[in-house]
Amino acid sequence: KVPQVALMSTNLADILRFCISPEEFVPLRRETEILQRYMEIQKIRLSGEFTFQIQVPEELEDCLVPKMILQPLVENAILHGLDGLDRGSIRVTAREEAGVLRIIVEDDGRGLPETMLGAYAGRDRALSQGHLGLYNVDTILLKYYGAGYGLYLDNRPDGTGAVVTATLPIRREEETPC
């Protein structure tokens, strides 16, 4: 298992360097690269119990996003959506709708309880118990972009899993982020 340990160490080092870098905003392309590294670690750790896909259109790769907003959303899907299941899948997609960037993290796991559905904004931190990553990402989006943006939580229409959507304004690398 030496190659796996080496890969995990390299990925972890890349993630840590990314986390301590001074940039607050990064291109979506870079954010997804770091997410891929995180998922390589998780696949080794969990013995490949799930599949993972990222689908980001090339024209959205240069959109600026707050650093480290995707990893907590995917981690939440692993910990709460796929926990205890033999197999599962997580898919991250991005799309633009009328100047708004929507990043969707979807799993085919347990789904979300009724009490968590809807806009995440304004939730009491105590009600977010066990979902600190969701709370933190929503807080970051609200801080940078205001009340019209943040997380929206739903269950898949077919009843198999959760859908967490992060909304933020489209900002490109050549523009200022805020």
Contacts of 102 (CB under 8 A, 6+ apart): 94, 95, 96, 165, 166, 167
- Mean pLDDT computed over 49-55: 90
H or E segment and range at residue 45: helix 28-45
Q: What pLDDT was estimated at residue 176?
A: 52
Residue 121: per-residue pLDDT:
66
Distance CA 77, CA 121 (A): 19
Whole-model pTM: value is: 0.87
CB-CB contact of 99 with 169 (8 Å): yes
Quick check: 4 pLDDT over 80? no
Cβ neighbours for 157, distance < 8 A, ≥ 6 positions apart: none
Asked whether residue 178 carries a pLDDT value surpassing 50, the answer given is no
d(CA 3, CA 145): 42
Task: State the chain's mean pLDDT as an integer.
Answer: 87
Given a contact cutoff of 8 angstroms between Cβ atoms, the answer to whether 145 and 34 are in contact is: no
Contact 35, 54 (CB under 8 A): yes
Q: Picking from 50-59, 103-112, 113-122, which range would have the lowest pLDDT averaged per residue?
A: 113-122
pLDDT tens-digit series, residues 117-150: 888 866 666 666 667 889 999 999 999 999 899 9
For 102, the 3-state DSSP assignment is: strand
Give the percent of the chain with pLDDT over 70: 90
Asked if residue 45 lies in contact with residue 23, where contact means CB atoms within 8 angstroms, the answer is no
Three-state SS at 123: coil
Q: What was the pLDDT predicted at 126?
A: 62
Q: What pLDDT, on a 0 to 100 scale, did the predictor assign at position 105?
A: 97
